[in-house]
Amino acid sequence: MVLYQMKKYVLNKAPSVRVTRFDEELNREQLEAVTCPGGPMLVLAGAGTGKTRTLTYRVAWLVENGVNPSNILLLTFTNKASKEMMRRAASLIGGDVTALWGGTFHHIGNLILKHHASALGYKDGFSILDRTDTKDLFDTCRTAVAAAHKDAQLLPKASVLTDLHSYTRNTSKTAATVIAERFPALETNAALILEVIALYEKKKRQLNLVDFDDILHNLVVLLKEHEDIREYYSRRFQHVLVDEYQDTNLLQAEAVGLLSAYHRNIMAVGDDAQSIFSFRGANFENILNFHQSYPDARIFKLTTNYRSTPQILNTANSAIAANQRQFRKDLVSVRGSGEPPALVPLEDVREQALFVASKIKDAVDEGGALSGIAVLYRSHYQSMEVQMELTRLGIPYDVRSGMKFFEQAHIKDILAYLRIISNPYDEISWKRLLKMLPGIGNATAEKIWRYLLDLPDAPPLDRVVSAGKAAPKKSAEQFAAFVKCLSELRKIDAPSEAIDTALKGSYEKYLFLTFTDADNRLRDLTQLSEYAIKYNSTDVFLSEMAIQGSEQPIAAVNGDKDEHVVLSSIHQAKGLEWKTVFVIGLNDGQFPSIKSAKNWDEEEERRLFYVALTRACDELYLCYAYTSYAGLIRPSRFIKDIPRGLLEEIEII
């Protein structure tokens, strides 16, 4: 007998399934939702109550109770959220959940559409346009329509058309309705815009292309018009779980209903009190009227909060109570008692900025971490003075609501008008403004600039009228308006008046044709104009602005590059938390932001306020000014909703 040398090898077996102790690892509210046998479920997860934990434990409970992961569909709004939930679920059950269908609505929609492209008339292998590709195709269509119509030079930029069309798709509204409601400045050119959109849709079909927003639209069309396909997927997905249901739009809610139609085991998790994204197309009615779509739905409320002190939660509960259209619930803290939120009346926005920066500096001097502090606001323009004061004190900050104030294109644009009046030989500012005019690019701007310098003894401002002959004919009308604006600016030395003149002269129209967030940018410039009132000289104002725009705060504190204060709009702050939160600009007209838009909703503004309050863990400061450059202003009506006994007023001395 031949004996072989033996070597041991351990098989890499799949780990045994862990038995999760649900009753020990979940609170009572979470446990009831996680272990619900099935049927339609609406889980109202208040801020800081363990929404993600509830969803992942639900996946684990389903798998441990015999549901194959391949029969579970988990829909989220970000790939990051999907991956994190699947990682946690795998950790809980100690097994493989890669077969689970998890991802964003668009990811899942694309997976399904790739298998059934021909059913919608597409050829196999259709391509998906990213945002840059979409803008490029819109630009091509815009150019074609402009060439066919001599009066089409004032068509909006491709980026504006892209956002307009996206909102149309996500709200299932007509383009004409969206223009009237959200882009009223473009109504005079509505017919031409509709022609561009029609050409864009035609070209996509010809080229076998779909854009990002087509995915949801096509998914719903596929499921509604092809019963066999709908039945296959709704039978396959025994359980459908949806994260952030309050942020779904009409198409997403309809897709969820179609994909869960057979088993009707849908778990929608969200918080109606945090529905704040209607400007993106989110439909508040989806979560508010869930029980109307699913009359037999069970409603669960998660109200045990692990984030904030009782004093902060009592304030937040009182603030949201004024809303009539909501699911009533009061968050209850598991934490010990803390300090009451502070109400801080301040003379004006400059004193507001000084207070915020001073308190932050005090916290750092006492050994606190900047990373635990956030300054939140309704609109980006409200951060200007705070940015300037933090820079002055050398406190590093990270702006989450957009670019730093003086780095923004529209701020640089408007200052360029003032610069060429102050210094007529400022070539950079001249070319910046010239290139805003239709048909003028780098080469033409250089040609016009050379013409302006032709006569050394005549400054450029004296030659700008005749320089129009070097501009293309298509820009003649806009060039004339530009010249008229410069002529008026030459008579003005007060920088605030100069900014207003440049806006009314030509720049405001350019804003609405160029930027999708023109309203917000206009408020930035209005704030800059108000700030400039304290300057009597444009030269002095420009020097100060140049210094502010060039100075940088210290790179780090104690050598930690991640140590910085966060400056963020409340929309950007949703889902995050900080130990200390300052909410600034709490004045009527600013927060709530009272817009002229027809769909303005005070209750959504109040929900936004509620989101701001519930970002704070330990300390909360509510700041408002009682005077502005125009006179006395009122504190926000939302502050008045809060019983005075819940707040501690700070007197500035």
Q: What is the pLDDT of residues 503-533, one digit of tens each?
A: 888 788 888 888 888 888 888 898 888 888 8
Q: Residues 52, 153, 304, 572: which is the catalytic one?
A: 52
The answer to whether 585 is a known ligand-binding residue is: no
Residue 150 marked ligand-binding: no
Per-residue pLDDT, averaged over 461-483, amounts to 79
Among residues 51, 135, 142, 607, the one annotated as catalytic is 51
* Distance from C-alpha of 420 to C-alpha of 428, rounded to nearest angstrom: 9
- Is the pLDDT at 260 greater than 50? The verdict is yes
Does 80 qualify as catalytic in the annotation?
no
Report the amino acid identity of residue 549.
G
Q: 134 an active-site residue?
A: no
The one-letter code for the residue type at 596 is: S
Closest CA to 38 of 72, 86, 2: 72
Given the residues 20, 30, 252, 274, the one annotated as active site: 274
111: Cβ contacts below 8 Å, ≥ 6 apart: 101, 103
Judge residue 13's burial from the number of C-beta atoms within 10 Å of its C-beta, 0-12 exposed, 13-18 middle, 19 or more buried: exposed
The residue among 609 and 498 whose pLDDT is bigger is: 609
Q: Catalytic: which of 195, 214, 244, 524?
A: 244
Check whether 94 is labelled as a binding-site residue.
Answer: no
Q: How confident is the model at residue 13 (pLDDT cuts 50, 70, 90)?
A: very low
469 among the known binding-site residues?
no
48 is in an annotated binding site: yes
From 29, 214, 243, 619, active-site residue: 243
Closest CA to 379 of 209, 594, 554, 227: 594
Measured CA to CA, the distance from residue 405 to residue 392 in angstroms comes to: 14
Cα–Cα distance measured from residue 525 to residue 521, given in angstroms and rounded to the nearest whole number:
6
With bands split at pLDDT 50, 70 and 90, how would you rate the model's confidence at 1? very low
Band of residue 286 on the pLDDT scale cut at 50, 70, 90: very high
Band of residue 12 on the pLDDT scale cut at 50, 70, 90: very low
Q: Which two tokens stand for residue 585?
A: 């600009």
50 is in an annotated binding site: yes
Taking 80 as the threshold, does the pLDDT of residue 629 lie above it? no
Q: Which of 56, 590, 615, 619 is catalytic?
A: 615
46 among the known binding-site residues? yes
- What was the pLDDT predicted at 554? 45
Let me know if 133 is a catalytic residue.
no
Tokens of 635: 């504190």
The token pair at 81 is 């959220």
% of the chain exceeding 90 in pLDDT? 53
Catalytic, 51? Answer yes
Contact status, residue 313 vs residue 327, Cβ threshold 8 Å: no
Q: Is 52 annotated as a binding residue?
A: yes
Q: Is the pLDDT of residue 582 over 60?
A: yes
When the pLDDT of each residue in the chain is averaged and rounded to a whole number, the result is: 88
- In the residue annotation, 35 being an active-site residue is answered as no
Name residues whose C-beta falls within 8 Å of residue 15's C-beta, 6 or more positions apart in sequence. 94, 95
Average pLDDT over residues 362-385: 92
Q: What is the pLDDT of residue 11?
A: 45
Per the annotation, the verdict on 244 as an active-site residue is yes
- Percent pLDDT > 70 in the chain is 92
* Angstrom distance (rounded) from CA 205 to CA 152: 25
- Grade residue 597 by pLDDT with cuts at 50, 70 and 90: very low
Residue 10, classed as helix, strand or coil, is coil
